[in-house]
Chain A
Amino acid sequence: MDAVLLARIQFAFTVGYHFLFVPISLGSGVFMLLAARRWYKSQLDDDKAGYLFWLKIFTATFVIGVATGITMEFAFGTNWATYSRFVGDIFGAPLAAEALFAFFLESTFLGVLLFGRNRVKPKFYYVSVWLVVCGALLSALWIIIANSWQQTPAGYAIQDGKAVLTDFWAAAFNPSTIPRYLHTVISTWVAGSLLAGGIAAYYLRHGRHILFAKRTIVAAVVFGLICSIAMPLIGDWQARVVAEHQPAKMAAYEGLFTSTPNAGIVLFGIVDEDQQTVHAQLAVPGMLSWTITGSTDGVVKGLDSFPADERPPLKATYYTYRAMVILGIYFGVLLLVGTFLAWRKKLATSRRYQAALTWSAPLGIIAIELGWFATEIGRQPWIVQGELKTSDAASSVVPAAHILTTLIIFVVIYALLFGVWFRAIRKTVKAGPAETAAAPVPQPTGDAATALMATMTEEVKE
């Protein structure tokens, strides 16, 4: 197989996998912080148990995120050396800054969270929780700066065939950085809310951890709803940025074959590349023109405005984007109903809603993954929009056989990691936050997952 194709598959797999865990860390981080705050204020054992529950979820996920994140920092050099030479002057700085400002903060203070409960004062401990969560948010900022620069490059000039920085602020806060950051972070909060709400609903259905579950489910649906309301507002901003800077991606998102005024936003439809049309279309006419140009008469560029070799893969972009949008609408409705039920004090008793919420728990992560696919596939064939094509960016000295070998190893190792993570999360959720009176005493002699959870927050008392 072609070395570039293999490198792309490897990158898509490793980054897509990494990006399963990052949103869970960011999303559960909010609930960990809320629980830590409650415990810090009350100093009650019940609240401590609630916090420790979230700490376990956060840590198990964070560890996989860290382990698979190292891969990404290596990958630019190992698999994409030509790209690294081309963008190093701009792209390296945010990566270094991410390590310096975010990774150190997260990992150092996570050490405090896991091992420091009896070593530091409650206030120090509480501040450490904040620092870990802020570290994760900072990390997201720097990596999104790097990614956004690839999508909407700014603040640079091409010299001797390389991108050279001319304006740091313009490069860092390029047109898509802020909307992309808000979209990504808030979507992880929606996903975290669904996860937290789903877990709480599961407890309510089984009549366990009632107090914890009631508190969590209300926080989850209300917070989730607020975030869901913010999403389309940011989405509108993003759409205008994409239309301006990556018009081919916008055309692919909406299955728009020909440039046209009165372009609609497609809710559903089957895209047909041969006949250049979208069948069975359910669309809001004029909406896309109106969003982008401010008028339904505004012309939106279709795929016919771009040479064939500068169009993204249509079906993959169109369907992943569509699925993300449909899921996003579903989350809005689900969380709105939940908030309504919470207002009518029916959340704790509505079994049907609880079931729906439980089954929706993983969907937020899936929607994020789909959105990620859409935005990354949609910018193809460019690795740096308008400047460097993905097909010209791979390492020239790495043979296909080496990439294939390491790809297979990645798949095996990552499957194993997923098993370890999933069992850990399942155990934690099944056990739930420890009840005050009958705190289970985990034995390090149990099976791996029990021991993992048992020792995850272990402390050696001095």
Chain B
Amino acid sequence: MILPFIWYLLIGVLIAGYALLDGFDLGVGILYPFITKTAQQKAVLRTSIGPVWDGNEVWLLTAGGALFAAFPAVYATVFSGFYLAMMLVLFCLIFRAVSLEPRVQRQRNTAWDWAFFIGSALPALLFGVAIGNIIRGVPIDAQGEFGGTFFTLLNPFSLLVGVLALSMFLKHGAAWVALRTDGALQRRGAKVLSVAHWVFIALFVITTIVAATTQTDQVKRVIDNALGWIMIVVILAGIVLTRWGMARKRDGYAFIGSALDMLGLVGLMAVGNYPNLVPALNDPTRSLTVGNSHSSHLTLMVMGIIALIGVPLVLAYTALVYTKFKGRISSAHTEGYGQE
């Protein structure tokens, strides 16, 4: 059982990595049409995420691939069961990629600006809704297939988690803007962050109260487990650190605080759900669990070796490239915009 457990953890790590990396560029996309007033400011925001967003998105692809390899039954049931939602995310990501990378931008035609916005906001919301459903459970039939419809997914609890995720990404994006820009844009980012931070706290409290009354299994697992308490401490530390960073104008700490929130929330979900990957709402014996949906031990072992080689390599060069692009991007220096 140790290998499936390790892969459960690793997929959690990949999802957390995705949330705290792609999270900020999704957040930037959500803020993009609202906090920029000039083409220069837009250029600053795009430049701040330009070199890294694509690499960040690969965390999602890696998580998807790892889920396919380690828990094929879960990959098959979730992707086919959540068909329309998945396709919606996919279309968003396609538009987003095109709106961002070649930056098909026209000053008068803002269609691609909105593609960037919708391509960021809708996946943020839908990822939250998906997580909400995976906490709440979905109907699963005797063959292990999803037994609901698109509208089964749009239940109040999952939508609440969706809004929480949206606020979390928005906050993370605002923290990034505050960290990586200067002047008016930086001030606007900080302002959004201070509001978004409170919105996030409020939604977190509401979600916790709702979960405490409806998701009793998960809550019990969290409070019975030291890891669960650690995750709660991480989230609270993140909230405090963000607040402290804002108050002291230490934008880096505010950003790290925001990242800790994400890490803690993904961790909390992982602790609460274990050993379920997808709980069955109708009949707990049909739940897809770490025990009943994992790949063969040989596959998990091979994948483990691949991860052991690949992950440190990726972390090393990702960190290297981030250091090459560190520092604030100044609006005053975007006069070279578009020039070689």
Contacts and interface: CB of A to CB of B under 8 A. Distances in A.
Contact of B334 (A73, A116, A460): A460
Interface string B2-15: 00000000000000
Nearest to A66: B97
B109 interface: yes
Contacts of B61: 70, 73, 99, 103
B65 interface: yes
A112 B51 contact: yes
B72 A85 contact: yes
A114 B50 contact: yes
B95 interface: yes
B311 interface: yes
A99 B339 contact: no
Nearest to A455: B103
Interface stretch (A25-33, A76-84, A323-331, A362-370): A76-84
Interface residues of A, number: 86
A279 to B, nearest CB: 45
A51 to B, nearest CB: 12
Interface stretch (A197-205, A258-266, A435-443): A435-443
Contacts of A449: 104
Interface in A97-116: 97-101, 103-105, 107-112, 114-116
A300 interface: no
Interface in B35-93: 39, 43-44, 47, 50-52, 54-55, 57-58, 61-62, 64-73, 75-81, 83-84, 86-87, 90-91, 93
Contact of A116 (B81, B325, B336): B325
B54 A110 contact: yes
Contacts of A395: 76, 80, 83
Interface stretch (B222-230, B240-248, B296-304): B296-304
A459 B334 CA distance: 8
Contacts of B73: 85, 88
Contact of B90 (A71, A89, A396, A443): A71
A340 interface: no
A420 interface: yes
Contacts of B69: 88-89, 92-93, 95-96
B107 interface: yes
A443 B338 contact: yes
A124 B107 CA distance: 34
B91 A413 contact: yes
B86 A93 contact: no
Interface residues of B, number: 79
A417 B306 CA distance: 34
A378 to B, nearest CB: 26
B68 A168 contact: no
A456 interface: yes
B314 interface: yes
Nearest to A107: B54
A222 interface: no
A168 B302 contact: yes
A402 B69 CA distance: 26
B94 A462 contact: no
Contact of B295 (A74, A88, A104, A424): A88
A448 B99 CA distance: 11
Given A70-B93, A78-B79, A111-B52, A397 B65 contact: no
Nearest to A76: B68
Contacts of A98: 65
A406 interface: yes
A333 interface: no
B337 interface: yes
Most chain A CB within 10 A, of B55, B64, B65, is at B65
Given A71-B90, A98-B65, 12 more contacts: A70-B97, A81-B79, A93-B302, A108-B314, A111-B325, A112-B321, A114-B51, A116-B324, A124-B324, A452-B103, A458-B103, A462-B327
Interface of B: 39, 43-44, 47, 50-52, 54-55, 57-58, 61-62, 64-73, 75-81, 83-84, 86-87, 90-91, 93-95, 97-98, 101-107, 109, 112, 143, 145-146, 295-296, 298-299, 302-303, 306-307, 310-311, 314, 317-318, 321, 324-325, 327, 329-330, 333-334, 336-340
**Across the A-B interface, the 10 shortest Cβ-Cβ residue pairs:** A88-B72, A77-B79, A92-B69, A111-B51, A96-B65, A92-B68, A81-B80, A395-B80, A107-B54, A100-B310
Interface of A: 52, 59-60, 63-64, 66-68, 70-71, 73-74, 76-79, 81-82, 84-85, 87-93, 95-101, 103-105, 107-112, 114-116, 119-120, 124, 164-166, 168, 395-398, 402, 406, 409, 413, 417, 420, 424, 434, 439, 441-449, 451-452, 454-462
